[in-house]
């Protein structure tokens, strides 16, 4: 996505002036439904291969929805050359030009720098390592490299010469006013090249959408529709870098002297284009080019996932064309194309950049035209999927916008919680220990009479958070049918699980499937009941077993650490499934119970007594553990603890319990008090 949008904007501005960026935003908005239609259709037609993986593509969708084999073959044949050029060749040229611009333009250069061939081999090796881990490694790598790449881009921009924003907007507006009339053909050409290089309608996004975990194809289509709008935002970044590179001056003046004369296709893709591109990475002519080198590092981080996405899409399009053998053959061709591009640039020089870029644009134009025709054919089927999704109750949870979520997602909640966890472990000096802990207890109205030890015996804030209570302070209800509260908490919500949905707050739902992270245990709790117990900093932080049971195993789902207070519950859609969770599966003769421990901001760790698992680590992965034999757990026995306040969610198997008559939403409950009763005696 990044190299295509970057080069597309550069060429569009070179052809039609900086005002073309406004047209890019407008046209991207109106063309984005093409991504939706193709991605929805590909997700709807996906299938499971003999190896167990999920496969979906535009050719598969065309074959299923139109029953036309030849249209499907044409769609795949148009996509393959575009994938080889845009996904394998172009990124190698981009990175080779970046290395040349960041280092070789400096006085004396650096003979130890890797050349295009070495860069292509490194890229191929990195691709092999990422793809060997499957779709999970691809997703995890892409997530972290995106965050790192965006951060490095910002640092590079701040370290380099900063453009004057007022001049940029003036140049954009001046050029936009000139984009009609005699300049209209140049504007159309610039837009066409930009849309081609951003893979609009090519089918790449559709193949990726097939791997999205959702039961609603329209939901996957809507998420992929946003990628085109995100790419249009890259055009702003390109303009800023273009305005700040050495010698750029006013964007409009630069366009009239460097680009306005390039009205023919051959004139646009001449060898001097490579030098213009390299200049993006040469941002400090008078000193060490730190800004350019940081920009280069960001490019490496952002481009490798893009290459992986192209390979993934090529593999599944080829699979649709001729099965596994054909897909493996084209995968090998993809890897060879990467290496051959580096060799060609080494031996043939800068003209390879122009030739390949021109070929890429033409191939992507053909693929995009094919995709647009396919989108028109499959538009009705995708619209029906959208209507079906909008009529489902899950749409309320999925389409609410999550604007507040976007705002607080900017903050690294997991890192903040980890830092707070470290801070809470710092021992207080002896003389300060008692007054500091007493001040904290006073602020949150904690009953110190119930604590097992005196204040001076808690060396740190964390030790006080996880304090034990005095013997007998929380008697456990002895009725064998009773299900007791496992914590001191407020019962913020409870009720029936209807159609696989749980109510978070009025008008906001989340799915049982998402909450349990796709566990095989999900089916047991469909149409069952649930209760949400919120622990504040005031409450006792240890958790106990609500019944006498056997622990069958647990499921750990890494996630965010958003707050779980009332503001977050009412403002963050699907809050609990987004947060880190550790679920214990309890089995009793009267029914099953899932005890879900939800992480939150400032929860340093979630710990359990029956396993050594550690949560909120820098490197985390999903775990699903089963015990054989199951572990015995007495009613009221300690099962775990939060290292700060959070939430426990109890799930009950269908037709097994009834809530205690005294329960109501918002009631404060204590550990050991009955909150429900088994129906079976």
Active site (catalytic) residues: 488, 544, 646
Taking the C-alpha atoms of residue 364 and residue 376, their distance in angstroms, rounded to an integer, is 18
Determine the 3-state secondary structure of 315 from DSSP: helix
| CA dihedral angle for residue 397, residue 398, residue 403, residue 408, rounded to 10 degrees | 80
Determine the 3-state secondary structure of 600 from DSSP: coil
> How would you label 351-362 residue by residue, b for 16+ Cβ within 10 Å and e otherwise?
bbbbbbbbbbbb
Q: Counting runs of H as helices and runs of E as strands, what totals does the chain give?
A: 26, 18
> How would you label 76-87 residue by residue, b for 16+ Cβ within 10 Å and e otherwise?
bebbbbbbbbbb
Edge-first strand listing for the sheet containing 638-642: 542-544, 638-642, 606-608
Taking the C-alpha atoms of residue 214 and residue 488, their distance in angstroms, rounded to an integer, is 35
44 forms beta bridges with none
Q: Give the largest Cα separation in the chain, rounded.
A: 89
DSSP 8-state code for residue 257: H
Q: Are 228 and 32 in contact (CB under 8 A)?
A: yes
Cα angle at 501 between 496 and 503, to 5 degrees? 70
Report the relative pairing of strands 549-557 and 647-652 from DSSP bridges: unpaired
Taking the C-alpha atoms of residue 515 and residue 526, their distance in angstroms, rounded to an integer, is 12
Cβ neighbours for 530, distance < 8 A, ≥ 6 positions apart: 494, 495, 496, 497, 502, 649, 650, 651, 652
Give me 121's structure tokens.
Answer: 């081999």
Q: Are 646 and 535 in contact (CB under 8 A)?
A: yes
Helix (H) or strand (E) holding 394: helix 394-398
Neighbours of 534 (CB within 10 A): 23
Residue 646, CA atoms < 13 Å, CB-side half-sphere: 33
Q: What are residue 643's phi and psi, to 5 degrees?
A: -95, 60
Q: Are 309 and 135 in contact (CB under 8 A)?
A: no
Taking the C-alpha atoms of residue 209 and residue 232, their distance in angstroms, rounded to an integer, is 20
Q: Are 588 and 518 in contact (CB under 8 A)?
A: no
Cβ neighbours for 23, distance < 8 A, ≥ 6 positions apart: 16, 176, 179, 187, 191
């Amino acid at each position: 996505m990044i190299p295509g949008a970057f080069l597309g904007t550069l060429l569009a501005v070179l052809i039609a002036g900086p005002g073309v960026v406004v047209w890019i935003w407008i046209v991207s908005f109106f063309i984005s439904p093409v991504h939706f239609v193709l991605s929805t259709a590909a997700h709807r037609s996906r299938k499971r291969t003999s190896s167990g993986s999920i496969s979906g593509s535009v050719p598969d969708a065309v074959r299923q929805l139109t029953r036309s084999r030849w249209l499907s073959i044409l769609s795949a044949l148009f996509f393959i050359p575009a994938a080889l050029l845009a996904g394998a060749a172009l990124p190698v040229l981009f990175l080779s030009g970046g290395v040349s611009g960041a280092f070789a333009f400096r006085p004396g250069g650096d003979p130890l720098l890797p050349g295009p061939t070495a860069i292509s081999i490194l890229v191929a090796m990195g691709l092999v390592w990422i793809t060997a881990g499957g779709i999970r490694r691809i997703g995890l790598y892409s997530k972290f490299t995106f965050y790192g790449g965006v951060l490095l881009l910002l640092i590079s921009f701040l370290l380099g010469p900063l453009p004057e924003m007022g001049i940029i907007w003036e140049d954009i507006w001046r050029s936009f006013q000139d984009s009609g009339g005699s300049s209209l053909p140049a504007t159309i050409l610039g837009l066409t090249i930009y849309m081609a290089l951003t893979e609009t309608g090519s089918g790449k996004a559709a193949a990726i959408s097939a791997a999205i975990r959702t039961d609603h194809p329209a939901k996957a289509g809507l998420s992929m529709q946003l990628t085109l709008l995100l790419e249009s935002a890259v055009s702003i970044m390109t303009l800023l870098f273009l305005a700040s590179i050495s010698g750029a001056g006013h964007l409009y003046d630069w366009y009239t002297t460097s680009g306005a004369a390039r009205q023919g296709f051959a004139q646009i893709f001449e060898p001097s284009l490579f030098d213009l591109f390299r200049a993006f990475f040469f941002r400090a002519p008078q000193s060490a080019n730190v800004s350019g080198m940081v920009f280069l590092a960001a490019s490496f981080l952002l481009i490798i996932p893009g290459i992986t996405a192209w390979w993934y899409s090529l593999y599944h399009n080829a699979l649709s064309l001729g099965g596994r053998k054909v897909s493996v053959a084209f995968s090998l061709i993809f890897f060879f194309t990467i290496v051959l591009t580096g060799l060609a640039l080494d031996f043939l020089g800068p003209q390879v950049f122009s030739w390949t870029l021109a070929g890429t644009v033409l191939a992507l134009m053909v693929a995009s035209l094919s995709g647009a025709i396919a989108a028109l054919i499959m538009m009705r089927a995708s619209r029906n999927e959208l209507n079906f999704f909008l009529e489902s109750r899950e749409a309320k949870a999925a389409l609410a916008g999550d604007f507040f979520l976007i705002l607080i997602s900017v903050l690294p909640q997991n890192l903040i919680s980890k830092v707070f966890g470290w801070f809470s472990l710092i021992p207080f000096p002896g003389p300060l220990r008692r007054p500091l802990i007493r001040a904290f207890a006073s602020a949150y109205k904690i009953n110190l009479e119930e604590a097992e030890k005196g204040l001076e015996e808690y060396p740190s804030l964390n030790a006080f958070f996880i304090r034990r209570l005095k013997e007998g302070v929380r008697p456990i209800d002895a009725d064998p049918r009773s299900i007791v509260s496992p914590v001191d908490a407020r019962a913020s919500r409870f009720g029936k699980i209807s159609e696989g949905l749980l109510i978070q707050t009025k008008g906001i739902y989340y799915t049982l499937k998402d909450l349990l992270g796709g566990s095989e245990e999900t089916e047991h709790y469909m149409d069952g009941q649930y209760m949400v117990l919120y622990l504040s900093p005031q409450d006792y932080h240890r958790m106990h077993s609500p019944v006498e049971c056997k622990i069958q195993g647990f499921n750990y789902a890494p996630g965010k650490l958003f707050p779980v207070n009332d503001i977050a519950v009412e403002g963050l859609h699907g809050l609990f499934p987004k947060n880190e969770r550790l679920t214990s599966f309890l089995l009793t003769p009267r029914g099953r119970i899932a005890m879900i421990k939800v992480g939150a901001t400032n929860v340093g760790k979630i710990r359990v007594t029956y396993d050594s698992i550690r949560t909120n680590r820098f490197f985390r992965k999903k775990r699903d553990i089963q015990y054989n034999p199951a572990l015995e757990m007495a009613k009221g026995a300690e099962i775990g603890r939060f290292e700060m306040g959070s939430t426990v969610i109890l799930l009950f198997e269908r037709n097994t319990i009834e809530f205690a008559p005294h329960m109501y939403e918002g009631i404060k409950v204590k550990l050991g008090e009955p909150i429900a009763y088994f129906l079976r005696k």
